[in-house]
Amino acid sequence: MLKILENIQLKPYNTFGISAVAREFAEIRSKDDAIELVKSGVLKGKLHLVLGGGSNILFTGNFDGIVINVLNKGIQLIEEHDDYVLVEAAAGEVWHDLVMWTVAQGWGGLENLSLIPGSVGAGPVQNIGAYGVELKDCFHSLKAIDLETGKEIQFNKAECSFGYRDSIFKRELKGRILIHAVTFRLSKRPQLKLGYGAIKQELEFTGINKPTVAEVSDAVCRIRRSKLPDPAITGNAGSFFKNPVVSATSAKILQNQYPGMPVYPQPDETIKLAAGWLIEQCGMKGYREDDAGVHPKQALVLVNYGNASGFGIISLAGKIQNKVLERFGVKLEMEVNIF
Ligand code: FAD
Ligand code: NAP
């Protein structure tokens, strides 16, 4: 029998470490728990939030509804072929544990996504990405429960409408489904992606010139540990803003004004700018207002130095957006989910 808890403090459930109280709270440990929750009718007429590891969320006040924490576990090989495998993972698995499991088998695909916090189930929601790889590159399908009907629905890759840190689950289906399992297609003959950020230098530095998936994963972990704040020590939700994508013409105008500005041409001829660089140019890197701050090593990450409120963080985010808009004419869109 599924238990609904009341008045639960959410501070341990979000990596920003923000205090907020959920009026109700349910733990989902299986697909059947999710179906029971919907069929019981307790969600009817209530605000609800499906929560994984809380590493991409900012609470700006108490949550006057029901938080549904997905905790189901299990990773299994479901198909093996000559050159690829299909692996299904329960949504409540820790993402990095899944990556480590696949890396240990020598299967390629997820190694560049090592050490991203959070759960497997949240991965497809924002099509997590790092070091030139996105979840969609290895995605096969997912299974979800419709939070209105309690029915199971399956989504293939095309049906997820994956985009840059984006999917149908962040837009049309926002809050309408609970993902309970995700299947990945991984390669038995990995094609490693090393040409992004500091991976190559890190491997060269350690004298590795023909890396394995495990060595790439280790390199990614080392780079991330050296640059990013550990939420266990300093509250944060990773990049607070998405990197803005602008037209080639707008990028050219900005480049004439700011010749040192990094630009990343996209396959559709638009240009991705580095939001962290734009924020830094506005003098905001390391900036702090009470306990809300901009990380001194990575300006894209907003941090809670201890007792910041969600309101404090969102006010700081607004200030950054205004400064970047004033100086560069570029609107920064938030990547973190605000509740
Ligand atoms: P939560 O924060 O719990 O939820 C995020 C969103 O997904 C919410 O809208 C929630 O409702 C929804 N959701 C969660 N679980 C489910 C489910 N089972 N079914 C349906 N909806 C669900 N992100 C990257 O893309 N790349 C990075 O490199 C990266 N690095 C990070 C580094 C740090 C230090 C931190 C703190 C964050 C980083 N992130 C990164 C952001 C974050 O880790 C990812 O977005 C992650 O996928 C969030 O997982 P979560 O389980 O914590 O999701
Ligand atoms: P970085 O390597 O210092 O790069 C800064 C920015 O430039 C990144 O945002 C990245 O865009 C972009 N970039 C760098 N090399 C690129 C290339 N060859 N082609 C296209 N774009 C390039 O970034 P970092 O902060 O240390 O992060 C490393 C990786 O981890 C990045 O992919 C980043 O997205 C990911 N990360 C994400 C989060 C999050 O919460 N979303 C948090 C930490 C790290 P992209 O961001 O588009 O890759």
* Mean pLDDT value of segment 210-229: 94
Specify the ligand 1 atom closest to the Cα of 92: 18
In this prediction, residues 121-133 reach a mean pLDDT of 97
pLDDT exceeds cutoff 90 at 227: no
Ligand that comes closest to the CA of residue 98: 1
Q: What are φ and ψ of residue 34, in 5° steps?
A: -65, -45
Candidate of 55, 60, 114, 234 to mutate for ligand 1, largest count of ligand atoms within 8 Å of Cβ: 55
Tokens found for residue 233: 């020590």
Q: Are 135 and 123 in contact (CB under 8 A)?
A: yes
Cα 38 to middle of ligand 2, angstroms: 38
Domain ranges of the chain: 4-70, 75-187, 235-338
Point out the residues that are catalytic. 165, 239, 335
What mean pLDDT is predicted for residues 39-64?
Answer: 96
**Ligand 2 center–CA 47 separation, angstroms:** 34
Measured between alpha carbons, how far is 51 from 128 in angstroms, rounded to an integer?
Answer: 16
Q: Is 141 touching ligand 1 by the criterion CB < 6 Å?
A: no
Give the three-state DSSP class for 251: helix
Output the pTM of the full model: 0.96
For residues 144 and 177, the answer to whether their CB atoms sit within 8 Å is yes
Q: What is the pLDDT of residue 256?
A: 96
Mean pLDDT of 254-273: 95
**Nearest partner of 117 among 136, 100, 139, 94, judged by Cα:** 94
In short, whether 196's Cβ falls inside 6 Å of ligand 2 is: yes
Q: What is the pLDDT of residue 153?
A: 98
Q: What is the pLDDT of residue 1?
A: 73
Ligand 1 neighbour 235 (Cβ under 6 A): no
Q: Biggest alpha carbon distance in the chain?
A: 64
Among 33, 23, 44, smallest CA distance to 92 is for 33
Does 127 score more than 80 pLDDT? Answer: yes
Q: 78: pLDDT confidence band, cut at 50, 70 and 90?
A: very high
- CA–CA distances in Å: residue 246 to residues 251, 254, 257: 6, 10, 15
Mean pLDDT, all residues of the chain:
96
Q: What is the pLDDT of residues 327-337, one digit of tens each?
A: 999 999 999 99
pLDDT at 209: 87
Question: Which CATH number is 75-187's, of 3.30.465.10, 3.90.79.10, 3.40.50.620, 3.40.50.720?
Answer: 3.30.465.10
pLDDT confidence of residue 196: 87
Question: Looking at the CA of 50, which ligand is closest?
Answer: 1
The answer to whether the CB of 122 is under 6 A from ligand 1 is: yes
Residue 197 pLDDT class (50, 70, 90 cuts): confident
Over residues 48-52, the mean pLDDT reads: 98
The CATH classification number of 235-338 equals 3.90.78.10
Instruction: Decide which of 2.40.170.20, 3.30.43.10, 3.50.50.100, 1.10.150.390 is the CATH code for 4-70.
Output: 3.30.43.10
Same fold, 4-70 and 75-187: no
Ligand 2 centroid–CA 132 distance in Å is 8
Nearest ligand by distance to the CA of 114: 1
Cβ neighbours around 297 below 10 Å, total: 12
Q: Is the CB of 120 under 6 A from ligand 1?
A: no
243 Cβ inside 6 Å of ligand 2: yes
Q: What is the pLDDT of residues 8-31, one digit of tens each?
A: 999 999 999 999 999 999 999 999
